[in-house]
C-alpha cells in the first residue's frame, strides 16, 4: 500500500507506509476499510496545509476502489502542530471499498436463485417432480457457493459474513419451498392422507390450507431478509464508512422471491372466495 506526499513549491518527497485498516470482514461483500494515517516529520515544520496535497494512487490498491473521506484541497488532510520539537504531524483519512467486479457473483447469483425459487411456485402442484428437481438443484448449488464464499474472505472474524447469511437463508428458503411443494401436492393427490376430497367442504379446506401456505411463504421471504439486513446495518452503525443499501440487500431479493408466491396467493384467494360463495354456511 503506497501513500505519496508532495510539497508543490519545494520539490517533492514520498512515503511508503504500512497502515492498519479499520473495518470488519463480516460485511462482505459490502465491506469497506478506513485508514487513518498520522505522519510525523520535521520537513513540515515551516509549511501550511495550503501548499501540501495528498496524492493517492488507486492503481496501487489492486481489487479495491479508493474513496477519499475528505474532498479537495487542504481538506484532504490536516496538520497537527506540536509533538516533538519542531515536528508536525499530517493526518490523512481515506476509505477503500471492495471493487465491484470482485463481488458481482456474490451479489447477482442470490438474486437469480431467488427469482428461480419465486417463479417455480407457479408450476402446478401436481407436477411435484419438476419442483423437486429445481429445489434440490438450488440446494446443492448453494452448498458449493458457500465453500467459495468462505475461501474468498479472511477466516479471522467473529461471525458469519453477510454473504454467508444470504446463502444460508437461500438454503432454508429452498428447503421450505420444497416442503411446501410436497404439502401442496399431497392436498391434491388422491392417494395422500392429506387429500380432503372433492366435495364442497373438502375444496373449502384445501383452499384455506393453500392460502395459509402461501401467506407463510410470503412472510418468510419478506420478513427474514429484512431482519438480518437490519441487524447488519445496526452493526455497521459503528463503522460509518460501511454502506449496506437496503434496496439491494432486502427490497430486490424480496421482490424476486415473492413474484410467483403473489400470483399463487391471488389465485388461492379467488379460489377461496368461490368456495366460500358455494358454501356460505362453512363459517
Confidence of residue 171 (pLDDT cuts 50, 70, 90): very high
Residue 275 has pLDDT above 60, yes or no: yes
pLDDT over 80 (residue 196): no
**Model pLDDT, residue 269:** 82
Mean model confidence pLDDT for the chain: 78
- pLDDT at residue 19 is higher than 50: yes
Amino acid 18: pLDDT: 60
Q: What is the pLDDT of residue 57?
A: 58
All structural domains of the chain with their residue ranges: 4-98, 101-278
Local confidence band at 55 (pLDDT 50, 70, 90 cut-offs): low
What pLDDT, on a 0 to 100 scale, did the predictor assign at position 93? 77
| Average pLDDT of the residues in 216-244 | 93
Q: Which of 66-80, 165-179, 264-278 shows the highest mean pLDDT?
A: 165-179
What is the average per-residue pLDDT within 187-203? 68
Whether residue 226 is predicted with pLDDT greater than 90 in this model: the reply is: yes
Strands 88-98 and 77-81 turn out to be antiparallel
Model confidence, pTM: 0.80
**Residue 175, pLDDT score:** 94
Q: Does position 5 have pLDDT exceeding 50, yes or no? A: no
Residue pLDDT, tens place only, 129-166: 999 999 999 999 998 888 888 887 877 788 899 999 99
Query: So what's the pLDDT on residue 2?
Result: 41
> How many whole angstroms separate alpha carbon 41 and alpha carbon 62?
29
Amino acid at each position: 500500500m503506497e501513500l505519496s506526499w508532495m510539497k508543490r513549491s519545494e520539490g517533492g518527497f514520498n512515503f511508503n507506509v504500512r497502515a492498519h485498516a479499520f473495518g470488519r470482514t463480516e460485511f462482505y461483500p459490502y465491506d469497506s476499510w478506513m485508514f487513518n494515517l498520522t505522519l510525523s516529520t520535521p520537513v513540515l515544520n515551516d509549511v501550511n496545509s495550503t501548499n501540501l496535497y495528498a496524492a493517492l494512487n488507486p492503481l496501487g490498491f489492486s481489487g479495491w476502489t479508493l474513496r477519499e473521506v475528505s474532498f479537495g484541497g487542504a481538506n484532504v488532510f490536516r496538520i497537527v502542530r506540536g509533538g516533538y520539537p519542531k515536528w508536525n504531524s499530517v493526518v490523512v483519512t481515506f476509505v477503500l471499498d471492495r471493487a465491484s467486479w470482485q463481488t458481482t457473483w456474490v451479489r447477482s447469483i442470490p438474486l437469480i436463485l431467488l427469482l428461480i425459487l419465486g417463479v417455480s411456485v407457479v408450476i402446478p402442484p401436481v407436477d411435484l417432480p419438476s419442483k423437486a428437481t429445481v429445489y434440490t438443484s438450488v440446494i446443492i448449488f448453494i452448498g458449493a457457493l458457500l465453500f467459495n464464499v468462505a475461501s474468498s474472505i479472511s477466516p479471522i472474524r467473529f461471525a458469519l459474513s453477510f454473504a454467508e447469511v444470504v446463502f444460508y437463508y437461500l438454503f432454508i428458503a429452498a428447503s421450505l419451498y420444497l416442503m411446501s411443494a410436497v404439502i401442496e401436492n399431497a392436498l391434491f393427490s388422491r392417494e395422500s392422507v392429506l387429500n380432503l376430497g372433492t366435495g364442497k367442504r373438502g375444496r373449502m379446506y384445501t383452499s384455506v390450507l393453500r392460502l395459509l401456505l402461501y401467506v407463510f411463504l410470503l412472510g418468510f421471504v419478506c420478513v427474514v431478509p429484512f431482519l438480518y439486513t437490519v441487524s447488519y446495518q445496526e452493526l455497521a452503525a459503528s463503522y460509518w464508512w460501511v454502506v449496506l443499501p437496503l434496496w439491494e440487500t432486502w427490497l430486490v431479493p424480496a421482490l424476486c422471491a415473492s413474484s410467483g408466491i403473489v400470483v399463487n396467493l391471488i389465485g388461492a384467494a379467488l379460489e377461496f372466495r368461490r368456495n366460500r360463495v358455494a358454501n356460505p354456511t362453512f363459517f
